[in-house]
Structure 1
Amino acid sequence: MSKILHYTFDAILISAVLAGIKRSTGLQPATSKIESTTIRSYVDKYLGFGEWIFDMSVVYFNHSSYFVNDRRDLK
C-alpha cells in the first residue's frame, strides 16, 4: 500500500513540474502525436490535473507568510 501511495505522489509531482515548465517556458508534451485517442485523453487529463495542482499550490504559497513575491516586474 505504501508503494502505491509513493508512486501516486511521484506521478502528481511529475505532472505539477510539467505544468510549471509549461507555464514558465511554454514547452509542453506533444500529446497530439499520441495515436490512440483513449491514451491521449488520459494523458491530457493527467496533465490537466497537474496544472490544477500547480495552480492550487501557487494560491497557497501566495497566501503563506513564508513566501514573498520578489519579481521586480510585478512591482
Structure 2
Amino acid sequence: MTLIGKTVHFSIDFLLISTCLAGIKRNTGLTVKTDKIANQTAKEYMTKYLNIGESLYDYSVATCGSSSYFVRK
C-alpha cells in the first residue's frame, strides 16, 4: 500500500473513532477528559478532533432520520 493509501486509511479510521466517541458521549454522557492533557496545543487539537466526530455523528443521524430505510421507535 502506498503512503497516500495508508494516510487515507488512517484518516478514515481516526474519523470513525471520533464519531464513535461522539456517539458514546451522546448516549451515555461519558466523554474524554481533555483537562488532563498538559500541552495546550495538543488539548486544542484534541478538542477539534472530538468536535469533528460530533459533526459527523450529527450528520449521520440527520441523514438516517430523513431516509425511508430507518424508522424511529
Report the TM-score range of the alignment, normalised by the length of the smaller protein. over 0.9
What is the CA deviation profile of residues 4-54 of structure 1, one whole-angstrom value per residue up to 9, with x for unaligned ones? 111111000000000000000000010011011100000000000000000
Structure 1 unaligned residues grouped into runs of 5+: 71-75
Structure number with higher helix proportion: 1
Match of 1:50 in 2: 53
Q: Distance in 2 between matches of 1:38 and 1:4?
A: 22
Match of 1:59 in 2: 62
Query: 2:23 is aligned with what amino acid?
Result: G
TM-score by length of 1: 0.90
- Where does structure 1 differ by over 4 angstroms across 4 or more consecutive aligned residues? none
TM-score by length of 2: 0.93
Q: How many residues align?
A: 70
Structure 2 unaligned residues grouped into runs of 5+: none
Identity level (%): 47
* Mapping of residues 1-75 of structure 1, within 5 Å: 1-70=4-73
Q: Distance in 2 between matches of 1:68 and 1:2?
A: 36
